[in-house]
Amino acid sequence: MQPSLKHFTEKLNHCLDEIDAPASVRERAAILSKSLDIPKQQAWSLLEGLQTPDPALLQKIAAEFEVDVKWLYGEK
């Protein structure tokens, strides 16, 4: 089951807003890349809604931001 790309991107950006990440996608991608140990290009793709995370990465994102995976999917 893949998350809705639009919902996922909105929720991921909301998580970054909650930690007072800068508005710049470049800076957000750097933060996400470092915190999740993923390439910056992949982080940028996630933030721009060009890619959905695989289940393992989705779990990692949920754990990092202390949110429910279903919430990231847009189900809650």
d(Cα 2, Cα 54) in Å, to the nearest integer?
A: 8
Domain 5-73, CATH number (from 1.25.40.80, 1.10.1300.10, 3.40.1260.10, 1.10.260.40): 1.10.260.40
Domain ranges within the chain, ordered by starting residue: 5-73
Q: First and final CA of the chain: distance in angstroms?
A: 15
Q: Would you say the C-alpha torsion 62, 72, 1, 76 has a positive or negative sign?
A: positive
Q: Check residue 73 and give its pLDDT.
A: 80
Rounded to two decimals, the pTM is 0.89
Q: Give the pLDDT mean for 21-38.
A: 96
Q: Check residue 76 and give its pLDDT.
A: 56
d(Cα 70, Cα 22) in Å, to the nearest integer?
A: 25
d(Cα 75, Cα 19) in Å, to the nearest integer?
A: 22
pLDDT confidence tier of residue 1, bands split at 50, 70 and 90: very low
